[in-house]
Amino acid sequence: MTDTKTLIDDSQRYIANTYSRYPLVLVRGQGCKVWSSDGREYLDFVAGLAVCNLGHCHPKVVQAIHDQSRKLLHVSNFYHIEPQIELAKVLCENSFADRVFFCNSGAEANEAAIKLARKYAKDTGRAERFEIITMERSFHGRTMATLSATGQEKFRKGFDPLLPGFRYVPFNDIEGVLRAVTPHTCAIMVEPIQGEGGVNCPSDGYLRDLRELCREEKILLIFDEVQVGMGRTGKLFAHEHDGVFPDIMTLAKSLAGGVPIGAMLAAEEVAKSLTPGTHASTFGGNPLATAAGLAALTALLEDDLLGNCTRVGAYFFKRLMDLKLKNPFIKEVRGRGLIIGMELGFEGSQIVIRCMEEGFLINCTMGNVLRFLPPLIVTHEEVDQLIEVMGRIFGECGEGA
């Protein structure tokens, strides 16, 4: 096996330099644990940034990949594809949606949603409507359209001219949305909890107000559930907490338990604007990805993962609040289920590195928000272990202050 130093040197030599990576090569994963090339074990509170909701290498997903890989890896969407049909059926049976368009990533799912919103406006005789309102601090992807939708200047910088037709308003500001609606608006696109933007939760009634506004203005509501869908908040989809339903929803990340996939779901009235030739993807709904997706979704629905997420999520939140009580530099703890953010009064990157040294993988977003996204199978004991280590590390911060 190639030694760790050579791997990292070759990574820096051959891989496009789009990530600042930690000097760690992860080679194996099981449940909440991952192992590095030098044999160290880590408890993973990143989970591929909300991809490995079932834990690493879930046996049902592994089995489905194994079985499908012996049957059929790929055929064109010119033909009907069995696992694709089955996954779409289970998704529709468990959501507001009537139809699913499959693709390969969150950005592609959002691209499809943006295209559909514009097409639906045209098909319903409102060709002048093409603008989409999105939120400041949102994140919708890195393709040109989804970058244009993303309400964070730092991601868009250097890529002008962007796609026209997006307006950004502050998250949780319904008046701001009202002011931004024009005769050109065709949709509002929002994450039910902002992930990359710092784990920002909707205030009470915000999503309901957006739904009402969309109904009044006859425009579409798009929920980007790429990060917070598939059980991450303790319900299958985050918007279920608020009892409101979108016209279009996008999914990706953990939908296929670690295999690349994306999906755009829509109600029939809107989905009917997608007719043969209007949109496509070679790999979208690929047999291998959708077989993995079907296994992952079935496990999520059958194995009480939502229950565990709610119980352990509440416990984790409380333990983080305990840390906040002891450490005045912790500004806020926020989140739902097992997407939790802890806002610090300083840069969080050193805390991430210190946790890694102690055998725990955590993430930091927006510079100062520690973000925790463990697999939904994480236990109280594993949470305790992280809290114990973080308590110690925060103690060191206090000493340095």
Ligand X SMILES: Cc1ncc(COP(=O)(O)O)c(C=O)c1O
Contact status: 382 vs ligand X (CB under 6 A): no
CB of 49 vs ligand X, minimal distance in Å: 6
What residues pair up with 360 in beta bridges, in sequence order?
A: 43
Q: Where are the alpha helices (DSSP H) in 124-220?
A: 144-149, 153-156, 174-180, 206-217
Contact status: 198 vs ligand X (CB under 6 A): no
CB of 227 vs ligand X, minimal distance in Å: 4
Contact status: 130 vs ligand X (CB under 6 A): no
Please identify, among the stretches 35-43, 54-62, 105-113, 319-327, the one whose residues bind ligand X according to the rule CB under 6 A: 105-113
Instruction: Tell me which of 55, 141, 229, 258 binds ligand X, using CB under 6 A.
Output: 141
Contact status: 189 vs ligand X (CB under 6 A): no
Active-site residue flag, 139: yes
CB of 45 vs ligand X, minimal distance in Å: 16
Instruction: Tell me which of 53, 95, 105, 308 binds ligand X, using CB under 6 A.
Output: 105
CB of 217 vs ligand X, minimal distance in Å: 24
CB 250, CB 109: distance < 8 Å: yes
Query: What is the rounded distance in angstroms from the CA atom of residue 195 to the CA atom of residue 114?
Result: 20
Contact status: 139 vs ligand X (CB under 6 A): yes
Query: What is the rounded distance in angstroms from the CA atom of residue 220 to the CA atom of residue 234?
Result: 26
Residue with tokens 């009235």: 269
Of 220 and 252, the one with the shorter C-beta distance to ligand X is: 252
Site string for ligand X, 200-239 (x = CB under 6 A): ------------------------x-xx------------
Query: What is the rounded distance in angstroms from the CA atom of residue 225 to the CA atom of residue 174?
Result: 20
Contact status: 247 vs ligand X (CB under 6 A): no
Please identify, among the stretches 72-80, 104-112, 177-185, 353-361, the one whose residues bind ligand X according to the rule CB under 6 A: 104-112
188's CB contacts (< 8 A; 6+ apart) are 132, 133, 134, 177, 210, 213, 214, 219, 220, 221, 222
12's CB contacts (< 8 A; 6+ apart) are none
Query: What is the rounded distance in angstroms from the CA atom of residue 189 to the CA atom of residue 228?
Result: 15
Element (H, E) at 318: helix 305-326
Contact status: 196 vs ligand X (CB under 6 A): yes
Residues in the interface with ligand X (CB under 6 A) total 15
Of 222 and 306, the one with the shorter C-beta distance to ligand X is: 222
Directed axis angle between helix 287-302 and helix 59-71, to 10°? 150
Contact status: 271 vs ligand X (CB under 6 A): no
Active-site annotation holder among 60, 166, 223, 224: 224
Q: Which residues of 121-159 are buried (b: 16+ CB within 10 A; e: fewer)?
A: bebeebeebbbbbbbbbbbbbebebbbbbbbbeebbeee
Of 121 and 373, the one with the shorter C-beta distance to ligand X is: 373
Active-site residue flag, 166: no
Active-site annotation holder among 44, 235, 253, 317: 253
Of 18 and 275, the one with the shorter C-beta distance to ligand X is: 18
Instruction: Tell me which of 54, 91, 252, 352 binds ligand X, using CB under 6 A.
Output: 252
Site string for ligand X, 51-90 (x = CB under 6 A): ----------------------------------------
Query: What is the rounded distance in angstroms from the CA atom of residue 360 to the CA atom of residue 353?
Result: 9
Contact status: 258 vs ligand X (CB under 6 A): no
Query: What is the rounded distance in angstroms from the CA atom of residue 371 to the CA atom of residue 355?
Result: 13
CB of 195 vs ligand X, minimal distance in Å: 5
Instruction: Tell me which of 191, 209, 247, 382 binds ligand X, using CB under 6 A.
Output: 191
Query: What is the rounded distance in angstroms from the CA atom of residue 320 to the CA atom of residue 334?
Result: 10
Active-site residue flag, 272: no
Q: How far is CA 243 from the centre of its chain?
A: 20
Instruction: Tell me which of 106, 246, 287, 374 binds ligand X, using CB under 6 A.
Output: 106
Active-site annotation holder among 139, 223, 237, 360: 139
| The one-letter amino acid at 16 | A
| The one-letter amino acid at 297 | L
- Phi, psi for residue 186 in degrees, rounded to 5: -115, -20
Residues that bind ligand X (CB under 6 A): 49, 105-107, 110, 139-141, 191, 195-196, 224, 226-227, 252
The residues assigned a catalytic role are 139, 224, 253
